[in-house]
Amino acid sequence: MTPRAADRARYDRATAHLDAPLALVDLEAFDANADDLVRRAQGKPIRVASKSVRCRALLERVLARDGFAGIMSFTLAESIWLARAGFEDVLLAYPSADRDRFAELAADPKLAAAVTVMVDDPAQLDLIDRARDGDGAPVRVCLELDTSLQLFGGRVRVGARRSPLREPAQLAELARAVARRPGFRLVG
């Protein structure tokens, strides 16, 4: 039996009593990868993408290390779940239209302090306002700017188009719109 097959057989025996889905993680390799990321970041804090580390215990482990700060989440529901689990710096990676979760976020000052939402259009501010029940806690906002590279007069795009905002003036206009709106706090 090859070493890899022997490892697989050992893992299968060790987890036979557990229900799927499950994952086995080599913590030594996990920590070595985290160390390498910190080295390559050269002092810049690293925000962990929750869609890449789908386990709260591993998120806690990596965020306890020097060089890591905060989580970038995939959905607003996940952001709230992570904040309720005790994570204090959760950035929602994408604009959302989840009115129920916005109502939940604005209704809880602790959640609103822990979660930052991404916006790229004043209509998203309107959606959040309509979702609020009364005043609610201020919602932390980060502005989304399309940073994809366009070449050959826009015929070739490198990177995903993440936002309709492409120009600094557009971003500044949205920042002013957020700053004028009660119930929002521009943080990024």
Q: Which helix or strand (DSSP H or E) is residue 150 part of?
A: strand 149-151
For residues 166 and 9, the model is more confident at: 9
- List helix spans (H) across the chain: 3-15, 27-41, 56-63, 76-84, 99-107, 109-114, 122-131, 168-180
pLDDT at 160: 74
Q: Is the pLDDT of residue 80 over 80?
A: yes
Torsion sign across C-alpha atoms 154, 74, 100, 181: negative
Token pair 């993440």 is at which residue?
Answer: 162
CATH of domain 75-186: 3.20.20.10
Query: What is the reported pLDDT for 73?
Result: 96
More confident residue, 14 or 84: 84
Which of 142, 160, 157, 158 lies closest to 93, judged by CA? 142
**In the predicted structure, residue 36 carries a pLDDT above the cut 90:** yes
pLDDT at 153: 79
Q: Is residue 47's pLDDT more than 80?
A: yes
| pLDDT confidence tier of residue 162, bands split at 50, 70 and 90 | confident
Q: Is 89 exposed, middle or buried (0-12, 13-18, 19+ CB in 10 A)?
A: middle
- Judged against a pLDDT cut of 90, whether residue 18 lies above it is answered with yes
Q: Please compute the mean of the pLDDT values over residues 9-38 and round it to a whole number.
A: 92
